[in-house]
Amino acid sequence: MADDKGIDSSVYKNPVWKVVLALLIILAFVYFFGEIFKTNEAIQRYKITYTQFSAELKANNVKSVTIRGLALDGEFIKSVSLKPVNDIRPRDVKNFRTFLPSFQGSDLIAQFESKNVAVDVEPEESSAFWQIALAVLPWVIIIGVWVLLMRRMQSIQGGAGGGLFSFGQSKAKLFDAKKPSISFKDVAGMEYPKKELEETVEFMKDPSRFSRLGAKIPKGILLIGPPGTGKTLLARATAGEAGVPFFSISASEFIEMFVGVGASRVRDLFKRARDMKPSIIFIDEIDSIGRTRGTGLGGGHDEREQTLNQLLSEMDGFEPHEEIIVISATNRPDVLDPALLRPGRFDRHIIIDRPGRKDRLAILTVHLRNKKVASEVNLDDIAKGTPGMTGADLENLVNEAALQAARDGKDRIYKKDFEDALDKILMGTKREESFSAEERKITAYHEAGHALVSFKLPYTDPIHKVSIIPRGISMGVTQFLPEEDRHYYPKKYLVNKLSVALAGRASEKLVFKDVSSGAQEDLKNATSLAEKMVAQWGMSEKVGPVSLGRGEEHPFLGRELAMPKRYSEDMAWIMDQEIRNLIVEAESKADELLNNNRSTLESLAQALLKDETLNREDVERIIKESESGARKHEAN
């Protein structure tokens, strides 16, 4: 804030400014006394002209001289009545000072020798001020750099006060309950999680209602869900509904380069929460400090595990009905230490899944509150066409659509803007690159193969769009969009999905009698899916209904290396054969479909080469026209 004179008063509160000001005062002090010293010396040694000095030298009245650069200090044998420089009346001068011309050399020394003058030569005189300044300057730089580093570290760690001695203080941000905050009404969807948290809100408002019946509220609530589903938003809404102080911190902020700092910050955080109870502590991404102890290839005694131990101690050390609730969020519950999940700590787990169609509609409505949207936009259609998207994805979709409309100079957001934004999110950004005609042709037949096999096989996801415009890292893309959210995947659906994935390669092999590297990602996804079908989901008759763990992703390298295999080498060979059989059979099915519908494949590929992008209606129309033409040709 600036004062009446326009000067920023915050400058005077800056520690760096105070240090600089103090150093300037010290240097001015040194300079002032240096000048006084030089003045006193000038009083004792009168400054005379070089002409007066030459006259006395010729008169053999110079006893000794000391030369410092061009300055010459000397002593007369007898005092001389002279008129010193800048003086009005003559004085008796015994000690004097004068300055030599720059062209004086060996001749002057010869004169001194002939006159028996004692000559002394000293280094050129330097100012006492600069001597002290040069001695102090390195320390000024060191202190200044240190202060700036401390302030930089303080700003990175959240701006908390304390500077150098604040390492052990918690970096949690406190949201004041008296200020306007969000509530459950501001959180779209998530009806089940909100219902679960209403009990927590009721306890914070009226703890006696539960305590008189002997009931205990959970000390810790763990919000589990994929990234972007609104875990942090829901925690803040809980605090807003309860109207209590809300401490928010990311678990990574506990960890510091110094051992023991994380544990100290945990203690400080819980102390602050106790001082303001009832209160809520929210720890985001708790898996960064709450991972299972003793895992990995290295030792287990490190700063992170000490921080976790202190957190476990603080949570278990709560007194009954202490009116402090810890809410944490994670998208990796499988890596958390079992001690965190036991009753008495995080004993209530709330699953926050990806929103369904109804919830997506509510989320879109919230994000479009303050945006100008054309009347042609149907939010229900957008919600239907975005299965699997989280709240953060939908917010990004709305923002991308608004940016697209602004780039095109529109006064509101239209349906086309949402379609372009969805294509950008699902398929990637267009790449403005030139490709050869041969590459475009291979890409067209590859994507046409995916589209045709998907259309012909039952239980597959509908086509959303087919494009040979390079997007992201792909030369082309066939995008599928499920009509509804899926939670179970039948074997017939997965088998046909394998055929669709391998149809691009099959199309290249049929048309060009060769295959390319363009199917790399398709082969990778198909192999991974087949491995899960055989080794985890019990979809192989030879392997049987067992889960052997092959293909599982382990969060810790050490655990994966140390864990013994749950199958023998013979079983591994059988699984390899079953995985290969699934992929080979799926490719054979794709080969057969493409052979039987070669003319339709040609029609789709030519349409892609012409238009570059086909939507679902275009694909269906081309396939139906091609089949109708083929039937007429056979009839004739």
Range with the poorest average pLDDT among 352-366, 419-433, 460-474, 587-601: 419-433
Q: Is residue 34 part of a domain?
A: no
Q: Is residue 38 part of a domain?
A: no
Q: Which of 218, 225, 217 is nearest to 190 (CA)?
A: 225
Structure tokens at 80: 């001389």
CATH number at residue 315: 3.40.50.300
End-of-domain residue from the set 67, 97, 125:
125
Q: Is residue 37 part of a domain?
A: no
Task: Please report where in the chains the tokens 């919830």 appear, as a residue.
Answer: 359
Cis peptide before 84 (omega within 30 of 0): no
Residue 447 appears among annotated catalytic residues: yes
Over residues 382-394, the pLDDT tens digits come to 888 888 888 888 8
- Assess whether 246 and 378 both reside in one domain: no
Question: Residue 163: what pLDDT?
Answer: 45
Over residues 283-294, the pLDDT tens digits come to 888 888 877 776
- Assess whether 181 and 326 both reside in one domain: yes
End-of-domain residue from the set 304, 326, 351:
351
In degrees, rounded to 5, the angle at the alpha carbon of residue 511 between the alpha carbons of residues 507 and 515 is: 65
Residue 579 — very low, low, confident or very high, per pLDDT cuts 50/70/90? very high
Contacts of 435 by beta carbon, 8 Å cutoff, 6+ apart: 443, 470, 475
Question: How would you class 345 by CB atoms within 10 Å of its CB: exposed for 0-12, middle for 13-18, buried for 19 or more?
Answer: buried
- Assess whether 62 and 207 both reside in one domain: no
- Residues in a beta bridge with 220: 326, 346
Q: Is the pLDDT reported for residue 161 higher than 50? A: no
* Residue range 68-93: mean pLDDT, rounded: 82
Question: Residue 8: what pLDDT?
Answer: 44
| Sequence letter at residue 584 | V
Query: Is the distance from CB of 427 to CB of 477 less than 8 angstroms?
Result: yes
Q: How are the residues of the chain apportioned to helix, strand and coil, as percentages rounded to the nearest 5?
A: 55, 15, 35
Compute φ and ψ for 250, nearest 5 degrees: -90, 140
Q: Which of 66, 24, 29 is nearest to 45 (CA)?
A: 66
- Assess whether 539 and 444 both reside in one domain: yes
Q: Report the chain's mean pLDDT, rounded to a whole number.
A: 79
- Assess whether 331 and 393 both reside in one domain: no
Q: Is residue 39 part of a domain?
A: no
Over residues 238-267, the pLDDT tens digits come to 877 877 788 888 777 776 655 567 778 888
- Assess whether 305 and 418 both reside in one domain: no
Question: How would you class 596 by CB atoms within 10 Å of its CB: exposed for 0-12, middle for 13-18, buried for 19 or more?
Answer: exposed
Task: Give the chain's domain count.
Answer: 4
In degrees, rounded to 5, the angle at the alpha carbon of residue 158 between the alpha carbons of residues 152 and 162 is: 70
Residue 584: DSSP 8-state:
H
- The full DSSP string for 164-216 is GG-TTS--PEEEPTTS----GGGS-S-HHHHHHHHHHHHHHH-THHHHTTT--
Nearest-angstrom CA–CA distance, 236 and 280: 9
CATH number at residue 56: 3.30.720.210
Query: Is the distance from CB of 254 to CB of 265 less than 8 angstroms?
Result: yes
End-of-domain residue from the set 351, 383, 416:
351
- Assess whether 192 and 276 both reside in one domain: yes
Contacts of 397 by beta carbon, 8 Å cutoff, 6+ apart: 382, 386, 389, 418, 421, 422, 425
Structure tokens at 245: 């102080």
Residue 57 — very low, low, confident or very high, per pLDDT cuts 50/70/90? confident
Q: Is the pLDDT reported for residue 557 higher than 50? A: no
Over residues 433-450, the pLDDT tens digits come to 667 888 899 999 999 999
Task: Please report where in the chains the tokens 């001690």 appear, as a residue.
Answer: 339
Residue 232: DSSP 8-state:
H
Q: Is residue 387 part of a domain?
A: yes
Question: Residue 592: what pLDDT?
Answer: 94
Q: Which of 538, 564, 525, 532 is nearest to 550 (CA)?
A: 532
Domain that holds residue 458: 437-635
- Assess whether 444 and 386 both reside in one domain: no
Query: Is the distance from CB of 453 to CB of 593 less than 8 angstroms?
Result: yes
The H or E element containing residue 380 is helix 379-384
Over residues 84-119, the pLDDT tens digits come to 777 777 888 888 888 888 766 667 888 888 888 888
Query: Is the distance from CB of 578 to CB of 494 less than 8 angstroms?
Result: no
Q: Between 437-456 and 569-596, two packed helices, what is the crossing angle to 10 degrees? A: 100
pTM of the model: 0.64
Task: Please report where in the chains the tokens 């694909």 appear, as a residue.
Answer: 619
Q: Is the pLDDT reported for residue 159 higher than 80? A: no
- Assess whether 472 and 620 both reside in one domain: yes
Q: Is residue 451 part of a domain?
A: yes
Q: Is residue 115 part of a domain?
A: yes
In degrees, rounded to 5, the angle at the alpha carbon of residue 528 between the alpha carbons of residues 383 and 488 is: 45
Edge-to-edge strand order for the sheet containing 463-467?
Answer: 477-480, 463-467, 613-615
Determine which one of 447, 508, 531, 587 is catalytic.
Answer: 447
Q: Which of 591, 594, 590, 612 is nearest to 602 (CA)?
A: 594
- Assess whether 497 and 577 both reside in one domain: yes
User: 265 or 407, which is more confident?
Assistant: 407
CA torsion, points 522, 525, 529, 531, in degrees to nearest 10? 100
Q: Is residue 174 part of a domain?
A: yes
Contacts of 415 by beta carbon, 8 Å cutoff, 6+ apart: 374, 376, 377, 378
CATH number at residue 413: 1.10.8.60
- Residues in a beta bridge with 99: 71
- Assess whether 448 and 506 both reside in one domain: yes
Contacts of 259 by beta carbon, 8 Å cutoff, 6+ apart: 303, 306
Task: Please report where in the chains the tokens 């008796």 appear, as a residue.
Answer: 92
Q: Which of 107, 109, 84 is nearest to 94 (CA)?
A: 84
- Assess whether 608 and 518 both reside in one domain: yes
* Residue 455 neighbours by CB distance under 10 Å: 21
